[in-house]
Structure 1
Amino acid sequence: MESSFPGDGEGTPSRASEHKRGGWITFPFMLATVACMTLGIGGWTNNLIVYMIEEFNVESIDAVQIWNIVNGSTIMFTLLGAIIADSFLGNFAVLWISSVISFLGIILLLLGSTIDTMRPPPCVVTSPSTKCITASKLQFAGLYVGMGLASVAGAQRVISPLGADQFDKPKHQVTFFNWIIFSMYVAYCVTATVIIYVENDVSWGLGFGLSAGATVVGLAILFSGCRFYRYVKPKGSPFLGLARVVVAAIRKRNVSVPIRSEDYYRGADDRGTIAATTLTGFKCLNRAAVKAEGDTKPDGSIAKPWKLCTMRQVEDLKIVIRLVPLWSTGILLSTPLAIQASLFVLQALTMDRRLGPHFTVPAASMLIFLLIFTPLTIIFLDRLLYPAWQKLTGRFPPPLQRVGIGHVVVALSMVVSALVESKRLKEARKHRSMSVFWLVPQLALIGIGEGFQLPGNSTLFYQEFPAELKSTGTALVSLFVGLAYYVSVLLVSVVRRSTRWLPNDINDGRMDNLYWLVFGLAAVNFVFYLVCAWLYKYRGLARVAAENY
């Protein structure tokens, strides 16, 4: 087998050696790498709200807003990493480079938690008030730079398309996606229990140190499997081809759309033969593939790439356009997750967290219930419900149906959240504390909803996107989650300015009204999703259903 270092455009192995690579032998390396890198990022993000409140004296709602921005930015790096991977470096190079940068950010957070001069002194409790010193600009700069560098870990999500590239059958790719998500959530469970406990009850420095160590171990495992991976070499920016279609269609806007297929430029496929395809819908874009005098060279190649495109490029852009409405529904689908994942910490801090006479549950550790129910749902669906569905109907449940169920469950979680918060407020105003485990049902419902929609959306966008945009298609799932965090920041900001629902002391507010508002948005979004799903026609997945299931 020809060896090559996969850091430069994924290497250039021969066709024979490349054919032998990939397959299930790569699965343990991918799964272990995902687990370790998830431990790395979850170890510092999951307890970040408490860290900012306790160590940097940040007010509670402000800490929630910063946390949402950090999570949104982390996920934005997912898309950026995918674009760079598809266009220039390849998935493997983006994966290890982003891991190194993230490691440096975690180290900076570790130093901030252990060096006294890098954070403000603790608050002094004096009856009847508490005196806190705000962190200096330099101290905040160290915190923000550390979080910014560590957020680059979002680009590690390119491991999903990297792993999917190891398998030839779409059915195996679907199974891989399910297990990758399962591995991520199991690792997050460890961070929500073990690492958060270490940070709260032992030391923040040790907790961040465990995160840094997990990142290093993940890199070691990733590199140890290099000789088994199949590397897909990037072919330049696929977005350039899509942009050319738009420009060419505009430049030829006065050209009549011909009926004969011979008048369109087909181009050649990877084997050099004439590419076969048909043009569908969006006829205004078809003009980009209409051949005109001077558009081609004597050998048949394109002479003016910004005036003539292949039929395949035109169809690729149409595929992306058709998927945009479905993708947009994912933003408000994930907004309840973003709202819930941040505000439940503030709720938990005000509730009775005692578990026996000697142990207090860390507030952020309640996230464990969301993280447990997501992988349990994925296992139940992948091993029991979906196979049973296939035996009864003769086909695998389509991803749009799975995502639709996720919409319903997530919306219901907001109803439960509002009812529980209303009860908590009544008890708090009577100077009584509810058990923190009242938060379990709403977190469990969010987890079940994620178990339906995350694998469903990953499958949909990976299989339906053009071949050159597979990494970007997968990253779009993470992108709408990232945008949901920004939407939650905007929503909380508007609510704080226009109402009294979210004061610094949430016992004086009406967080339940915010939950009802989010439920209303989710309900309207679900109706829009139903319309989009009804209008959408499967393309890549039609072939998958016919050949592989």
Structure 2
Amino acid sequence: MDGKVEASSKEADESLSIGSKRGGWISFPFFIGMVAGLSLASAGIGGNLIVYLIKEFNIKSINAAQIVNVVVGSSNLLPIIAAILADSFFGSFSVAFTTSCVALLGTILLTLTATINSLKPHPCSNDSSITCIPPTGIQYTVLYISIVLISIGFGGSRFTAASLGANQFDKLEDQGTFFNWFFFTFYVASGAALTGVIYIEDNLGWSLGFGICAVATFVGVVVFLSGYRFYRAEKPQGSAVLDLGRIFVASVRKWKCKLSSRVEDYYVSSSGCGDSMIEVPTPPTPGKRLRFFNRATLITDADLKSDGSIKKSSWKLCTVQQVEDFKKIFGILPLWSSSIFLATPIAIQSSVTVLQALAMDRSLGPHFKIPAGSVSVIVIISTSIFLTFLDRVLLPCWHKITGKTPMPLQRIGVGHVLTVLGMVVSALVESKRLKLVHVHVEMSVLWLFPQLVLVGIGEAFHFPGQVTFYYQQFPQSLKITSTAMISMLIGIAFYLSTALIDQVRRSTDWLPDEINHGKVDNVYWMLVMFGAINFVYYLLCSISYKYENV
């Protein structure tokens, strides 16, 4: 008997020892290994996908840019869907692991299109697109399946893994340190891919370059899975994003109901819609602003059982606190929408810049040629350098002079101005390039660097400013969703850029397949005009906004 007790005690001690090792910094290397592998692969594919579609699949340049915009847009919208699935049904680990496996499958399939000759069309015999054979139906199918899998995989795993990693820590400072290292690793891996991997794709072969991306994805998945026994277990607890939908549905269902002035007629609870935990009664905020949604928390006869208790129906009755949180988000939406129109010119520039680089002199000395897809690394480099300068020099000096720290909306405003200036420089450079083309002179690709540096410095202002603003101003129940709003914003911006480019092609002759015969400078001037109008809209929204939780 004593032996059995000792054995049982020993097993309990071992179980406790294993449980104590879960979470914390012991899990950190596995998340960093995953983000390094997946970021290298994602940037190695996405950064040069336009060139691959043009050179290997004989897809016309503007159409290739449109495809890549859709891919980037989808990759940035999927984190919201992945977050809902993780919170509501499967948990972060399951979603992150599954989507990373999907990314691996898509990367392998794309590598096969570059390796097997029957999966891609014959190359063009010369520079004339007339002699280019378009892809067959099967070749298009395999290509698009690989692109869809890549979009789902990389988009679904990125922020889900970041949230799971932050959940391994209890202290806020540890969570902040984790995010710093997470995004630092992301930028370093992306920079390495935009230089080294893309150089390999352009000079040593697409199959080798994509093969490196496939291996990097595989290593990232294996590292992430091998750390499973060190991760804290988590259970799905429902999605706060779905709660917002429930509030809207509950309000519409009760649109005929009259609002009451009595506190006891409204439902108060400490948790989700339809729960019955009662706290100190507080009525919805008075006034006409968004009063319609107060109906979602109004208790009617249909919400009560025969014994007078409240029915648990999450799509008919929500709490006062949830409705107030819903109103706060509505107040932020105008500012959020202005950031969509800020990101749209950046999305268009990222695609058009690659097309410009293909038509420019990319020689750097007698033996080296800058890959067209690597030009965008200038934005990453300038953003990283200026973020350090901003954090260590500019902001401390500002605080010493004024005694205050710049508010997030002020930083975002500076980012707006710098982005518009970047578009002005882009228009001037492209106008000069077209003049040189007409006299048969190739402009150096280095002329694209100033505009990319300006946009990068702008991102150093507005991107962290937006993350800080949404994280501070969103309700406590939606803190995780607040960071995903940035990803959703970028996704919508890339979709809008696709629609805008398509409309420009329909209405003007500015964007032909051969951009040397077009007027891309007019496209940039159009973006300058839109950016200026959007900046005025942003100023109006920011002036009328009142900070909360600060």
TM-score when normalising by structure 1? 0.88
For the residue of structure 1 that corresponds to 2:84, the secondary structure is helix
User: Deviations for 1:197-234, whole angstroms, at most 9, x for unmatched residues?
Assistant: 11111111111111111112222332344455445532
Contact between 1:57 and 1:132, CA under 8 Å: does it hold in 2? yes
The alpha carbon displacement at 1:516 in A equals 0.6
The alpha carbon displacement at 1:133 in A equals 1.3
User: Deviations for 1:58-112, whole angstroms, at most 9, x for unmatched residues?
Assistant: 1111111111122112222222212212222222222111110011011011011
The alpha carbon displacement at 1:180 in A equals 3.4
Q: Distance in 2 between matches of 1:80 and 1:328?
A: 20
Q: Distance in 2 between matches of 1:245 and 1:274?
A: 18
Counterpart check, 1:218 vs 2:188: no
Counterpart check, 1:430 vs 2:439: yes
Paired position in structure 2 for 1:9: none
Cα distance change on mapping 1:234 and 1:424 into 2, 3 Å: same
Contact between 1:102 and 1:150, CA under 8 Å: does it hold in 2? yes
Cα distance change on mapping 1:477 and 1:435 into 2, 3 Å: same
Q: Which structure has the greater CA radius of gyration?
A: 2
The alpha carbon displacement at 1:502 in A equals 1.2
For the residue of structure 2 that corresponds to 1:353, the secondary structure is coil
Counterpart check, 1:287 vs 2:288: no
Counterpart check, 1:83 vs 2:84: yes
Cα distance change on mapping 1:93 and 1:319 into 2, 3 Å: farther
Q: Distance in 2 between matches of 1:146 and 1:177?
A: 30
Cα distance change on mapping 1:32 and 1:464 into 2, 3 Å: farther
Paired position in structure 1 for 2:137: 137
The alpha carbon displacement at 1:282 in A equals 2.5
The alpha carbon displacement at 1:525 in A equals 1.2
Paired position in structure 2 for 1:380: 389
Q: Distance in 2 between matches of 1:244 and 1:109?
A: 40
Contact between 2:163 and 2:480, CA under 8 Å: does it hold in 1? yes
User: Deviations for 1:250-301, whole angstroms, at most 9, x for unmatched residues?
Assistant: 3444544344433322123599964456633522222322334463455854
Contact between 1:85 and 1:471, CA under 8 Å: does it hold in 2? no
Contact between 1:269 and 1:275, CA under 8 Å: does it hold in 2? no
Cα distance change on mapping 1:79 and 1:488 into 2, 3 Å: same
User: Deviations for 1:376-406, whole angstroms, at most 9, x for unmatched residues?
Assistant: 2233333444455556666654322222222
Cα distance change on mapping 1:397 and 1:154 into 2, 3 Å: same
User: Deviations for 1:347-387, whole angstroms, at most 9, x for unmatched residues?
Assistant: 11111111111111111111121121122223333344445
The alpha carbon displacement at 1:484 in A equals 1.3
User: Deviations for 1:488-513, whole angstroms, at most 9, x for unmatched residues?
Assistant: 11111111121111112111111000
The one-letter code sitting in structure 1 at the alignment partner of 2:195 is T
- Equivalent residues in 2 for 1:407-418 (5 A)? 407-418=416-427
For the residue of structure 2 that corresponds to 1:124, the secondary structure is coil
Q: Distance in 2 between matches of 1:383 and 1:371?
A: 18
The one-letter code sitting in structure 1 at the alignment partner of 2:486 is V
For the residue of structure 1 that corresponds to 2:270, the secondary structure is coil
Contact between 2:107 and 2:213, CA under 8 Å: does it hold in 1? yes
**Which of 517, 520, 532 is matched with 2:541 structurally?**
532
Paired position in structure 1 for 2:250: 248
Cα distance change on mapping 1:304 and 1:251 into 2, 3 Å: same
Flag structure 2 segments of 5+ consecutive residues without an equivalent: 1-14
Shifted more, 462-471 versus 209-218: the winner is: 462-471
Cα distance change on mapping 1:255 and 1:487 into 2, 3 Å: closer
Q: Distance in 2 between matches of 1:37 and 1:433?
A: 37
Paired position in structure 2 for 1:196: 198
Counterpart check, 1:182 vs 2:184: yes
Contact between 1:83 and 1:472, CA under 8 Å: does it hold in 2? no
- Equivalent residues in 2 for 1:382-397 (5 A)? 382-389=391-398, 396-397=405-406
The one-letter code sitting in structure 1 at the alignment partner of 2:538 is Y
Cα distance change on mapping 1:426 and 1:497 into 2, 3 Å: same
Q: Distance in 2 between matches of 1:228 and 1:272?
A: 36
What is the aligned-residue RMSD (CA, Å)? 2.9
Paired position in structure 2 for 1:316: 325
The alpha carbon displacement at 1:524 in A equals 1.2
Q: Distance in 1 between matches of 2:522 and 2:67?
A: 22
The alpha carbon displacement at 1:138 in A equals 0.9
Flag structure 1 segments of 5+ consecutive residues without an equivalent: 1-13, 543-549
Cα distance change on mapping 1:231 and 1:535 into 2, 3 Å: farther
The alpha carbon displacement at 1:20 in A equals 8.2
- Equivalent residues in 2 for 1:303-342 (5 A)? 303-342=312-351
Contact between 1:38 and 1:187, CA under 8 Å: does it hold in 2? yes
